[in-house]
């Protein structure tokens, strides 16, 4: 967190527009996927693969670009104080697109056939911050758990 504050202070004193520099919805989605997979401190190979595949599908990029974004996301979340930094960049998305993000988060969490309470907490918080109704949050979860 100290690194984040130092970085913000440096950018402000250099006259850099912090908000414009930080706005990258594709990276924000990658960060949310990485946050969910790492929430339980046990990232399975299935979760790694799910992150790449789902990110590629969500933002329509190839597997290499998705892998690069996931790698950037892993570094970015180490400097982040909360997921608000990422969800705030995705509020412009349509309601359907925000549902798709939550659905993808559930798929990552369930990739190893187990949903850890810490993973669910991250998804719940993301849904709240993205203004996804609780009923849609539950519908996305059931779609993943019952269709797998």
Residue 44: give its domain's CATH number.
1.10.3680.10
Residue 69 lies in a domain: yes
Question: What is the domain range of residue 75?
Answer: 25-146
Torsion of CA 91, 58, 67, 111, to 10 degrees: 100
Residue 100 lies in a domain: yes
Q: How far is the C-alpha of 2 from the C-alpha of 32, rounded, in Å? A: 21
Q: What is the pLDDT of residue 2?
A: 47
Q: What is the pLDDT of residue 7?
A: 53
Q: What is the pLDDT of residue 3?
A: 52
Residue 7 lies in a domain: no
Other CB atoms within 10 Å distance of the CB of residue 29: 26
Tally of domains within the chain: 1
Q: What is the pLDDT of residue 16?
A: 39
Residue 133 lies in a domain: yes
Residue 12 lies in a domain: no
Residue 3 lies in a domain: no
Residue 17 lies in a domain: no
Residue 16 lies in a domain: no
Residue at token pair 């790449």: 52
Kindly give the confidence (pLDDT) of every residue in the chain, 148 residues in length, as a single tens digit, with 9 standing for 90 and above: 445 545 554 554 454 334 444 679 999 999 999 999 999 898 999 999 999 999 999 999 999 999 999 999 999 999 988 999 999 999 999 999 999 999 999 999 999 999 999 999 999 999 999 999 999 999 999 999 998 6
Q: Go through 85-124 and write b for each residue having 16 or more CB atoms within 10 A of its CB, e for each that does not.
A: bbbebbeeeeeeebbbbbbbbbbbbbbbeebeeebbebbb
Query: Residue 131 has what DSSP assignment?
Result: T
Q: How far is the C-alpha of 142 from the C-alpha of 148, rounded, in Å? A: 10
Give one DSSP letter per residue of 64-104, joined into a string.
HHHHHHHHHHHHHHHS-S-THHHHTTTTTS-HHHHHHHHHH
């Amino acid at each position: 967190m100290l690194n984040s504050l130092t970085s913000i202070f440096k950018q402000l004193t250099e006259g850099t527009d912090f908000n414009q520099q930080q706005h990258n919805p594709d990276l924000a989605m990658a960060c949310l996927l990485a946050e969910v997979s790492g929430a339980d401190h046990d990232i399975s190979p299935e979760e790694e693969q799910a992150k790449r595949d789902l990110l590629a599908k969500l933002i329509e990029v190839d597997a290499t670009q998705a892998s690069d974004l996931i790698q950037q996301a892993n570094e970015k979340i180490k400097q982040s104080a909360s997921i608000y930094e990422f969800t705030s960049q995705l509020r412009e998305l349509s309601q359907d697109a925000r549902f798709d993000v939550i659905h993808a988060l559930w798929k990552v969490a369930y990739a190893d056939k187990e949903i850890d309470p810490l993973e669910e907490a991250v998804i719940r918080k993301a849904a709240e911050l993205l203004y996804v109704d609780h009923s849609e949050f539950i519908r996305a979860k059931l779609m993943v758990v019952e269709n797998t």
